[in-house]
Every structure is written in structure tokens, then in C-alpha cells.
């Protein structure tokens, strides 16, 4: 198995299951409805919904970078606002996140191992190569999955 195939598998596992650490992001989201997703049980923390939009935004940014373009997200792109809190909008947010995530997994799996040490477009730090980006995606999704797990416990039912 190639290194990028292993990285893609880790990204997939963090998001949708079979993760070594326990529940994946989608497993944690089971039973979360729009009311729970939009709630702010911790006043200074983002909502579950905002975190899902944030994860999708950064998965999309990683796709853009894999495609060779530099990208930095604005504040609103980083944490997009939730304007419609209906169940339909929540389901759409989840489906959009899944679609972007699946595109990312495919792109990482197809990425040549020989390019893992190349600098990510727009990044000047010597350590910021594609290996760093791909392993960072796993860390990012698991970090926010942990936040979502806590918010789910603290929020309205």
C-alpha cells in the first residue's frame, strides 16, 4: 500500500468509521438533530453545526491546495455562519461535508507518493509539505470530533 493510500485511509477513518481511537466524526453525529447542532451550550464555543461547516471548509481548502492553488480562508469562510437552522438545512450541511470529505479522500489516495515532500502552494514554512497537510487533516478532524462529542453531551436534546 502506498503512503498516500495509508494517509487517505486515516483521513477516511477519522471521518466515517473504523477509527482506532473510538467513534469517528459521523458516528458521533448520529442522533444530532438541527436543534442540537445549532445550540451553543458553551457560550464561548462554536456550535456543532459551525464545526461541521468549518471541517468541510478546510477539507475544501485542502482539495484546492492539492489542485495546485494557494488558498487562505477568510474569517467567514473559516467558520461559515449558520443562517437556516431547519432540519433540511442540517441534513444538507452533513451531506455537503460528506461529499467534500469523500472528494478529499479520493484526491489524497491518488496523490503520488513522490510529491509528499513538496511544499503546499502558498506555504513558505519548510515543514509545510503535503505529508504535513494530509496528516494534519486527520488531527484536525479528530480534534473537532472531540469538541462535538462534548457539545453533544452538553446540548439540548
Per-residue CA distances from 137 to 33, 82, 107, 156 (Å): 25, 23, 13, 29
For 20-49, how does the pLDDT look when each residue is reduced to its tens digit (9 = 90+)? Answer: 888 999 999 999 999 999 999 998 999 999
The whole-model pTM stands at 0.95
Q: How confident is the model at residue 157 (pLDDT cuts 50, 70, 90)?
A: low
Domain boundaries, position 43? 3-154
CATH number of the domain at 9, please. Answer: 1.20.120.450
Q: Which three cell numbers stand for residue 37?
A: 447542532
Query: Once rounded to an integer, what is the mean pLDDT over residues 53-77?
Result: 97
**How many domains is the chain built from?**
1
pLDDT at 140: 97
User: What is the distance between the alpha carbons of residues 152 and 85, in angstroms, rounded to a whole number?
Assistant: 16
Q: Which of 46-50, 61-65, 88-92, 124-128 has the lowest mean pLDDT?
A: 124-128
Amino acid at each position: 500500500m502506498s503512503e498516500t493510500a495509508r494517509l487517505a485511509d486515516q483521513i477516511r477513518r477519522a471521518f466515517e468509521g473504523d477509527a482506532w481511537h473510538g467513534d469517528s466524526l459521523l458516528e458521533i453525529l448520529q442522533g444530532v438533530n438541527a436543534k442540537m447542532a445549532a445550540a451553543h451550550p458553551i457560550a464561548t464555543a462554536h456550535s456543532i453545526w459551525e464545526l461541521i461547516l468549518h471541517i468541510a471548509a478546510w477539507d475544501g481548502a485542502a482539495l484546492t491546495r492539492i489542485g495546485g492553488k494557494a488558498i487562505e480562508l477568510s474569517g467567514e469562510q473559516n467558520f461559515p455562519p449558520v443562517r437556516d437552522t431547519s432540519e433540511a438545512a442540517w441534513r444538507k450541511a452533513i451531506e455537503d461535508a460528506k461529499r467534500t470529505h469523500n472528494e478529499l479522500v479520493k484526491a489524497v489516495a491518488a496523490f503520488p507518493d513522490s510529491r509528499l515532500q513538496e511544499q503546499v502552494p502558498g506555504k513558505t514554512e519548510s515543514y509545510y509539505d503535503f505529508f504535513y497537510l494530509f496528516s494534519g487533516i486527520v488531527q484536525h478532524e479528530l480534534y473537532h470530533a472531540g469538541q462535538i462529542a462534548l457539545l453533544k453531551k452538553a446540548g439540548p436534546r
